[in-house]
Amino acid sequence: MMKTISDMILYIFLNYHIICVFSAAQIRFPAKSDRPNLCF
């Protein structure tokens, strides 16, 4: 059971990181945005 949960967390984390990288790539320079920057 724990392995399934950890796999789900890892899967979500990797997908979130990929989305974050794509968002950062689209905005290559600092710009004022309504949404906060969630990339760490």
Per-residue pLDDT for 31 more than 90? no
What pLDDT does 38 receive?
Answer: 55
How many domains does the structure of the chain reveal? 1
pLDDT, greater one: 29 or 9: 9
Q: Which domain holds residue 38?
A: 1-40
**8-state DSSP, 29:** S
Q: Where is mean pLDDT largest: 4-8, 20-24, 33-37?
A: 4-8
Q: Are 35 and 19 contacting, i.e. CB atoms less than 8 angstroms apart?
A: no
CA angle 7, 8, 10 (to 5 degrees): 65
pTM (predicted TM-score)? 0.43
Residue 27 φ then ψ, to 5°: -115, 90
